[in-house]
Amino acid sequence: MRRRVLFGAVMILGVGASFALSAERAAAQGPSGAGASAVVHDSSHSMNPMSWLKKDSSDPHDGPALRSEFETKLTPGLQAQGLLGANATTTEACSTFTALYDCLAALHASHNLGVDFNCLRAAMTGVHTSADVSGCKVSDEGKTKVLTSAIRELKPDANAKQATKDAEQQAMNDLKGIGG
């Protein structure tokens, strides 16, 4: 009887070890079938399900509390540069933008090129606020555009690519200036 129990235990351990080795060999071979090459070469896919959730914005300055704090700090500097009127705030100007950085770049581009900010904002966000945009050459109401495309639409004679690059650098400097 003792031999049977010992033999049974050895058999169970042997089968378990054999199963584990088989699984390890299969895993080492990688996936097979249609689309397997895409899986093998896609190392960016995380196995953490929390990383699969989309975030609203990739801008690190856009958490609700942080964004409000940054907007408050930015307002005096933007007013001093002439980007905002004396009674305007960054919060009001940037309310329709999902990313604060995009709003700052639009403010700078508007100022640099002499384009109405309300028109640029409407073109970039697809949102028409209570501000008068009747004189804007904005098409495709409701569709968003990147800054370069919005500049091309509103000021065709401008070098939109360079204007965007300059405005984005100025926006980055604004954020660095407040510790963002």
The 10s digit of each residue's pLDDT in 29-59 is: 555 555 554 444 444 445 555 444 444 444 5
Q: Please, which pLDDT band fits residue 167 given cuts at 50, 70 and 90?
A: very high
More confident residue, 16 or 148: 148
Answer whether residue 22 shows pLDDT above 70: no
Do the beta carbons of residue 146 and residue 124 sit within 8 Å? yes
Q: Please, which pLDDT band fits residue 179 given cuts at 50, 70 and 90?
A: confident
Tell me the average pLDDT of the chain: 75
Lowest mean pLDDT among 3-12, 103-112, 142-151: 3-12
pLDDT of residue 90: 93
pLDDT of residue 67: 81
Determine whether 66 is exposed, middle or buried from the number of CB atoms within 10 Å of its CB (0-12, 13-18, 19+).
middle
Q: What is the mean pLDDT of residues 146-169?
A: 96
How many other C-beta atoms can be found within 10 angstroms of the C-beta atom of residue 165? 14
pLDDT of residue 63: 58
Could you give the residue ranges of the DSSP H alpha helices within the chain?
Answer: 2-29, 36-41, 64-80, 90-94, 100-113, 117-125, 147-154, 160-177
More confident residue, 126 or 166: 166
Model pLDDT for residues 64-120, shown as the tens digit of each residue: 667 888 898 999 999 999 999 999 999 999 999 999 999 999 999 999 999 999 999
More confident residue, 27 or 160: 160
d(CA 43, CA 32) in angstroms, rounded, equals 16
166-170: long-range contacts (C-beta < 8 A, 24 or more apart)? 166/108, 166/109, 166/112, 167/105, 167/106, 167/108, 167/109, 167/112, 168/101, 168/105, 170/104, 170/105, 170/108, 170/112
d(CA 150, CA 143) in angstroms, rounded, equals 11
HSE of 42, CA atoms in CB hemisphere, 13 A: 9
pLDDT of residue 144: 87
